[in-house]
Chains A and B, each alone.
Chain A
Amino acid sequence: DIQMTQSPSTLSASVGDRVIINCRASQSFNSWLAWYQQKPGKAPKILIYKASTLESGVPSRFSGSGSGTEFTLTISSLQPDDSATYYCQQGLTFGGGTKVEIK
């Protein structure tokens, strides 16, 4: 089975900062990787699919990149509403999550 490893597990940044979250797959699967945002008490919400395609309605400050086994989610200018946990997913496997806190 594919293992998905995210780093860091938590990060604290200020409003306006550029934030980068990494996701590594244990083996190359395909380029179809998704990123989700989850806020407390809510279901995960799709942000990006196919590694870099922004879901309709998601702010353009979110972007995704990568291929093979290395993928990245970037928030270009962190906003207060971005405080959440972010998950990558490939195939039927999810990463362990990255909790983003606002300083």
Chain B
Amino acid sequence: QVQLQQSGPGLVKPSQTLSLTCAISGDTVSSSSAAWNWIRQSPSRGLEWLGRTYYRSKWYSDYAVAVKSRIIINPDTSKNQFSLQLSSVTAEDTAVYYCARDWAVAGTTFDPWGQGTLVTVSS
């Protein structure tokens, strides 16, 4: 059974960098059939996909256009986890952040999800 466990601070100051980590059990971050995603949810934006990292003979990362200039998602094979860094945050980045696995080769299906981390951007 695959499980994802998120960690990271719940409060970030404006203009600083939001950093979260998602630890994987029951699968490996370097799986050639999975992709590892970050998704956020806020009342104003709903569920918003932010980006993903995946291994297909080499590492790839894809990012949503809306955050592409500010986001980095990195795998950490030594700890079997992946991370999110979102820089220059503003109040609009306040949201619940989720990590999720996409296991479907023929399509996109997010399962499982991490428990979620409420990140508040405030001074």
Question: A residues touching B (Cβ–Cβ < 8 Å)?
Answer: 30, 32, 34, 36, 42-46, 49-50, 55, 87, 89-94, 96-97
A sample of 26 inter-chain contacts (CB < 8 A) reads: A30-B107, A32-B106, A32-B107, A32-B108, A32-B109, A34-B107, A34-B108, A34-B110, A43-B113, A43-B114, A43-B116, A44-B47, A45-B113, A46-B110, A49-B109, A50-B104, A50-B107, A55-B111, A87-B47, A89-B47, A90-B108, A93-B49, A94-B48, A94-B49, A96-B46, A97-B46
Chain B residue with minimal CB distance to A41? B116
* Inter-subunit contact B49/A43 (CB<8 Å): no
Interface digits, B49-82 against A, CB 8 Å rule (1 contact, 0 not)?
A: 1000000000000001000000000000000000
Given A49-B109, A92-B64, A92-B108, does the pair A43, B98 have CB atoms closer than 8 Å?
A: yes
C-alpha spacing A30/B115, complex, angstroms: 29
- Chain B: residues with Cβ within 8 Å of the partner, total of 19
Question: B residues touching A (Cβ–Cβ < 8 Å)?
Answer: 46-49, 64, 98, 100, 104, 106-116
Given A43-B113, A43-B115, A44-B113, does the pair A49, B47 have CB atoms closer than 8 Å?
A: no
Chain A residue with minimal CB distance to B51? A92
**A/B pair count, beta carbons within 8 Å:** 53
Distance of A32 from chain B, by nearest CB (Å): 3
Pick the contact of B49: A36, A87, A92 (CB < 8 A): A92
Chain A residue with minimal CB distance to B48? A94
C-alpha spacing A55/B110, complex, angstroms: 12
Indicate the member of B47, B100, B104 with the most A CB atoms within 10 Å: B47
**Residue numbers in B under 8 Å from A45 (CB-CB):** 113
* Inter-subunit contact B111/A91 (CB<8 Å): no
**Residue numbers in B under 8 Å from A94 (CB-CB):** 46-49
**Residue numbers in A under 8 Å from B98 (CB-CB):** 43-44
Chain B residue with minimal CB distance to A36? B110
Please list the 9 inter-chain residue pairs (A to B) with the smallest Cβ-Cβ separation, ordered nearest first: A32-B107, A43-B113, A94-B47, A46-B111, A92-B49, A49-B109, A34-B109, A43-B116, A96-B46
